[in-house]
Amino acid sequence: MNQERMSITIWFLCGVILTVYGLAVTISGYLNFSNPPPVKMAYLHLDFWWGLVLLAVGGIFIIHQWPAKVKRRMME
Amino acid sequence: MFQLHAVDLFIIVFYFVFVLGVGFYLKHFTRSGEDFFMAGRSQTAWVAGLSFIAANMGALELMGWSSATYQYGMLSVHWYWIGAIPAILFLAIFMMPFYHVSRTHSVPGYLHLRFGEGPRGLAAVTFVVMTVLASGINMYAMGLVLEDFFGWDFDTSIWITALTVAAYVTMAGLTSAIFNEVVQFFMIWAGCLIIPILGLIEVGGWRKLVEMVAQRSAEITASGQPVLDRIHIWSTMASPEQNPMGMHWLGIVFGLCFVLSMGYWTTDYLVVQRILAAKDIRAAKTAPIIGSFFKMAIPFIVILPGLIGFALIPGLQPESPDISATQTYNAVLPLMMKRYFGPGMIGLGLIALIAGFMSGMAGNVSAFATVWTYDIYRSYIHKSASDRHYLNHGRWSTIIGVLISIATTYIVKQFASIMDYMQALFSFFIAPLFATVLLGMFWKRATPAAGFWGLFLGMCTSVGIFLGVRFGWVDPSLIAFSESPSTMAVNMWQAAWAFSVNFAATVLISYFTTPKPLEELKGLVYGVSAMPHEGPSPWYRRPVLWAWLSFIIFLTLNIIFW
């Protein structure tokens, strides 16, 4: 497999999906602040905080595995 | 039934588009059979290790073990700890060097090098059958969940998911399967990690949960019967009557740890294929060890929700045609999601389930395509075609494998419990196969004839016991050494018997037949091969060190929950 040319790494892809989902869940959680869903422990606003966690983890993966950076590391 | 909102639909649609996009991107890097079937043998230890664990996290892991925990209590954790960790570490330290150095593409491929055509053909054909059946189980479980909890049409959800898996595996083979499995690994944790945390908060912590489980156990116990402990994992195993599983500790140690788990983790090509894709010997040894740490952690998102569900959601029952699937043990994980998840989180939870199903299915399908193409098609049907031809054949066999899996989905409906069926399936083929690989790899006297006949007799034993118990020809208490063994206990002893018959037959026949010359066993058998070394490295990068750390954590966990 010609992985030398594969500058989009698996970790970058994980970062993308975690960031997108983190964003979606955080926004949804923010909107639910005023109208909490009818579930147990809704007062904890789990969706908002968990969305932020996913966003942070995804962001770290994306920054660390940004394709240009990976390409540069490959060249070195 | 769950109510999906716009954000949940976005999460679901994005996921399907994403995994297809990954397959499409990787297609450009897949140009040879080695790329398609072995991911170019270029994966790092982390990628191979996470994929190794993710491929095992199908329907079996998520719903099956939550369901089993609801039914049997913490005893289910044995399948994650003693039923996995020793075997994974054994694979990493003792077996991977031989798999890696022999450059075999599959476990049947190793049997070919070690014993010749007979055992390879037998192992390949049975593996192909097993993978499509296992894939059918995955789809059946997924179809039920989507139908019962989300109101989706059973057939439509099966076809959409199966064709998505077929599309991305067909495009880039094992590489695509591995990449998506790593993504799915993260999705499973993202969707499930919150459940036990919220569950523990709701019940008031671990101590309170233990009290509630004991109270619930007492409530469901018939008057005059002893209340069975559902929290401790060893102290109740001195006698099968003392625990809800009807299991003796010998069955766990010998049947589960030594036979089923060793067989699954070291010879089931579904998981071993991920490690064979590692880029070098160090990565091949380190990958399973990395996987072992995550394997030990999975009970937190699978076993604990089952236990909390037992305490908080009374009344779930075994599968039966008379009750809805949402009232069965298998419903416990989705019901826990429903209990805590609002808009957005429902989508995430649903994706965790779908990702689990898809990773299991992709694992089966990619392994099926490799064994079918290399060990059956290239070996017996079309021996001297070009690499391009086998690459195309692999792509077609992926699609055909998915179609056969869809057809087998309905077989599963005949069985009482998804988990018990899965165990039965493993023990048909995996337990005897392990005896053959073990003797082949560690005993130079094992002969090709003994390899074949031992494997054949072991498989006959397994199938014979299964049919005998199912049709009432054999008393299950004789098989499992217990007055009232559960189906799971019978399956485990069935595996132990199959292994023992294979082992004894292989040893016996070997003494009456001619072994291979030692020159032909180099690189395949302990004692006649120099152990390949992973090269110089600082102490903290040595696989053995991490294997010991994993083993110490494993021991500690067992002592804590003794």
With a cut of 60, say whether residue B35 has pLDDT above it. Answer: yes
pLDDT in tens, B38-53: 888 889 999 999 999 9
Whole-number pLDDT of residue B244: 83
- Cβ–Cβ gap B194/A46 under 8 Å: yes
Which of these, B183, B180, B188, lies nearest to B39 by C-alpha position?
Answer: B180
Interface check B202 vs A, CB under 8 A: yes
Interface test with A, best of B19, B345, B359 (most A CBs within 10 A): B345
Mean pLDDT in residue range B511-516: 93
Going along B241-382, which residue ranges are E strands? none
Whole-number pLDDT of residue B490: 81
* Cα–Cα distance measured from residue B407 to residue B413, given in angstroms and rounded to the nearest whole number: 12
Q: How confident is the model at residue B507 (pLDDT cuts 50, 70, 90)?
A: very high
State how many domains chain B has: 1
* Cα–Cα distance measured from residue A66 to residue A71, given in angstroms and rounded to the nearest whole number: 9
Identify residue A63 by its one-letter amino acid code.
I
Task: Report residues of chain A scoring pLDDT below 50.
Answer: none
Structure tokens at B39: 């991911």
With a cut of 90, say whether residue B286 has pLDDT above it. Answer: yes
CATH number of the structural domain spanning residue B545: 1.20.1730.10
Task: Find the closest chain A residue to B183 by CA distance.
Answer: A14
With a cut of 90, say whether residue B2 has pLDDT above it. Answer: no
Interface test with A, best of B171, B194, B359 (most A CBs within 10 A): B194
Q: How confident is the model at residue B455 (pLDDT cuts 50, 70, 90)?
A: very high
Q: Provide ipTM, 2 decimals.
A: 0.94
Judge whether B1 lies within some domain.
no
Q: Is B317 helix (H, G, I), strand (E, B) or coil?
A: strand
Range of the domain at B109: 6-29+43-413+420-531+538-560
Q: How confident is the model at residue B224 (pLDDT cuts 50, 70, 90)?
A: confident
* Cα–Cα distance measured from residue B84 to residue B235, given in angstroms and rounded to the nearest whole number: 20
Contact B358, B164 (CB under 8 A): yes
B25, B339, B345: residue with CB nearest A25: B345
* Cα–Cα distance measured from residue B350 to residue B465, given in angstroms and rounded to the nearest whole number: 38
Judge whether B37 lies within some domain.
no
CB atoms within 10 A of CB B153: 12
Mean pLDDT in residue range B512-523: 90
Most confident range (mean pLDDT) of B26-35, B48-57, B438-447 is B438-447
pLDDT in tens, B459-501: 999 889 888 887 888 888 888 777 777 777 787 888 889 999 9
Contact B376, B41 (CB under 8 A): no
Whole-number pLDDT of residue A61: 95
Task: Find the closest chain A residue to B21 by CA distance.
Answer: A13
Judge whether B36 lies within some domain.
no
Whole-number pLDDT of residue B416: 47
Whole-number pLDDT of residue B238: 86
* Cα–Cα distance measured from residue B544 to residue B522, given in angstroms and rounded to the nearest whole number: 24
At residue B522, φ and ψ (nearest 5 deg) are -65, 135
Higher pLDDT, B360 or B457: B457
Whole-number pLDDT of residue B31: 86
Most confident range (mean pLDDT) of B83-97, B122-136, B216-230 is B83-97
Q: Chain B residues with CB inside 8 Å of A14's CB? A: 182-183, 186
- Cβ–Cβ gap B11/A54 under 8 Å: no
Judge whether B224 lies within some domain.
yes
Judge whether B35 lies within some domain.
no
Q: Chain B residues with CB inside 8 Å of A36's CB? A: 342
Chain A residues within 8 A (CB-CB) of chain B? 1-3, 5-6, 8, 10, 13-14, 16-18, 20-21, 24-25, 27-29, 32, 36-37, 39-42, 44, 46-47, 50-51, 54
Contact B335, B326 (CB under 8 A): yes
Judge whether B286 lies within some domain.
yes
Judge whether B38 lies within some domain.
no
